Amino acid sequence: MHSYVASRFAYQRRQSIQVKAGDLSIGGNAPICVQSMCTTPTQDVEATIKQSIQLAEAGCEMVRITAPGIKDAEALGPIRKGLNTAGFQHIPLCADIHFMPKAAMIAVEHVEKVRINPGNFADKKSFAVLEYTDQEYQEELERIHERFTPLVKRAQELGRCLRIGSNHGSLSDRIMNRYGDTPHGMVESAMEFIHIAESINFQDIVISMKSSNPKVMIQAYRLLTARLYDHGCNYPLHLGVTEAGDGEDARVKSACGIGALLEEGIGDTIRVSLTEDPCAEIPVAQELADYYNNYSLPRIDSINTLDDQIDPFHFERRACTTTRINNLEIGGDHTVLVISADNAHAEKPDIASPINATVDGITLLSIDSDNPKITLLEHLKSIPDVTVIGVQKPGALGYLRAYRLLHLCILESHKQHNTPLHPIVLYLEELDNLLILSSICGNLLADGIGDAIYLNHSAVPCPWSYTILQAMKTRMTRADYVACPSCGRTLFDLMEVTADIKSITDHLDDVTIAIMGCIVNGPGEMADADFGYVGSGPGKITLYQGKTAVVKNIPTSEAQEQLIALIKSAGKWRERS
């Protein structure tokens, strides 16, 4: 498999083909663009037009609208006309399709882009365990070809583009049984549909690999990028972390995934999914897009061909020796620490027993030479004991590549001179932007780099540190929530219910609760959740423990009380202190 980037030590934006959605260019040399999704019922045409205009005025460059049924798809016609009349003909619309190829065939007549989910466009999702022979598998692919080809042909005739959007939470039973619930399965699911489109010479395609787990999302996009290099056609990529939730946690989780990939030059259009008013998504997405649209680093010839000896497609925490800081053990198999220069300001009140330490015992290195590898190796020779090492000034490399080089130099020094594998502290002193800190730390933590995190020059160093670690599922110190953004499919008020559930469970430790508006991605996207609260019909909720539905179709009025009972029965409940 081809490397997913030209070099892990040199920034270069990935060059994709350019796709047009109406007047909007995606990929190629076009800037990273931002988009969002309406939360109104699609058949409420006036409300959907109004919200689309609000999004456009907030800076949204593409508006996605759900079309779960025929009538919803038909409503896209008057919605498009209404936006044109209001002077927003330049804002392309994207129809979001699940389960219904017929709805897609209607939607493509009215909008500039159609998103289909290969996990449920023609396949089944019932968590069935089946064994497919090669012949049976091929027969299923032929059936998908028959169902997908008409949409591709019509999109080609009308000059529309398509988004093939694999989702970790809705891989089909067929893909799950052959590839598992994995990034590999997500890539294979998309590639099947790409091959079908290409069989009739259609390449106006954007691809996405979404997950609520930033680690899974990062690995999936890296795998896809490498696969597309080998395939010979670099399609533009839409980035997003699904079901991120709300508030600061959701913004950090989104940046940990989206920003981590933008740091590597990957991504052409982005959406930040918040369980909030959709207009709140735009400033977050714009901040990331603006930063990376203007991002550039000089190439350093002495290192741009190096191999940092990390497998970017599979997570494995970097090995290192255990040492101590102020009687606290760091490195080895120990949890990632949060370090503060001032213990008086270290503890976040709603985090139980945080581990903190001063900067004593940390060696901070500067990288400002033309040959940074040689300089770092010389520095390492002068460090006699097992000490925690960080980068004080990353020079032209930037923090991401400086830490990759530090990891490689420690590894090489260990092999050449039998020196210790020093623990690494993520010390990002020059940054005070939470989204960019999350982008860099998210990438490094996804690679297994980082035994401690030190953000003391940030506005709120310890709370930000814990939030980043929580987002990357590196260290869970409080209840975690997987909550989808609302859309026209949602069966209850997601913002209100999410706030209510948080208010009664936010004192719990190391518990993940999923709050999902409908069943499209619900059961699958809850793969990492301990408990799930999923809309299963109007006024009905189904509660899950793991992937198992344990209380089905109960009235909304009883659901929160029964969720507490379910958490108690699992031994995960404790009373608020």
Residue 276 to residue 251: CA distance in whole angstroms: 11
| pLDDT at residue 40 greater than cutoff 70 | yes
**Least confident piece of the model among 70-84, 130-144, 216-230:** 130-144
**3-state secondary structure at position 391:** strand
CB contact at 8 A, 49 and 24: no
Rg (the chain; Cα; Å): 24
pLDDT tens profile 187-235: 999 999 999 999 999 999 999 999 989 999 999 999 999 999 999 999 9
As a whole number, the mean pLDDT across the chain is 88
Sign of CA dihedral 227, 229, 235, 241: positive
- Residue 479 has what pLDDT? 85
Residue 481 to residue 496: CA distance in whole angstroms: 14
Quick count: other Cβ atoms within 10 Å of Cβ 101? 15
Q: Which residue has the tokens 């002077």?
A: 87
Distances (CA, A) of 167 to 121, 246, 520: 12, 20, 10
| pLDDT at residue 101 greater than cutoff 70 | yes
CB contact at 8 A, 561 and 573: no
Residue 545 to residue 566: CA distance in whole angstroms: 8
Let me know if 506 is exposed, middle or buried by CB neighbors in 10 A (0-12, 13-18, 19+).
middle
CB contact at 8 A, 110 and 77: yes
Tell me the one-letter amino acid at 122: A
**Residue 168 in tokens:** 């970790």
**Least confident piece of the model among 156-165, 361-370, 558-567:** 361-370
- Residue 90 has what pLDDT? 96
By residue count, the chain amounts to 577
Residue 70's φ and ψ, nearest 5 degrees, are -60, -45
pLDDT tens profile 443-502: 999 999 999 999 888 888 888 999 999 999 999 888 888 877 766 566 667 788 888 898
Let me know if 515 is exposed, middle or buried by CB neighbors in 10 A (0-12, 13-18, 19+).
buried
| pLDDT at residue 122 greater than cutoff 60 | yes
In which band, very low, low, confident or very high, does the pLDDT at 386 lie, cut at 50, 70 and 90? confident
CB contact at 8 A, 265 and 8: no
- Residue 362 has what pLDDT? 85
Residues 362-400 as b/e (b if ≥16 CB within 10 A, e otherwise) read bbebebeeeebbebbbebbeebeebebbbbbebbebbbb
**Least confident piece of the model among 81-85, 277-281, 393-397, 545-549:** 545-549
| Percentage of residues in the chain having pLDDT higher than 70 | 92
- Residue 146 has what pLDDT? 93
- Residue 147 has what pLDDT? 93
Q: Which helix (H) or strand (E) holds 195?
A: helix 183-198
pLDDT tens profile 326-355: 778 899 999 999 987 654 333 333 333 333
Residue 276 to residue 65: CA distance in whole angstroms: 16
The residue among 109 and 68 whose pLDDT is bigger is 109
Residue 388 to residue 324: CA distance in whole angstroms: 9
Residue 402 to residue 381: CA distance in whole angstroms: 18
Distances (CA, A) of 428 to 78, 369, 411, 470: 50, 19, 22, 18
- Nearest residue to 99 via CA among 533, 489, 516: 489
Q: Which residue has the tokens 């977050």?
A: 284
**3-state secondary structure at position 295:** coil
What is the 8-class DSSP label of residue 270? Answer: E
**3-state secondary structure at position 37:** strand
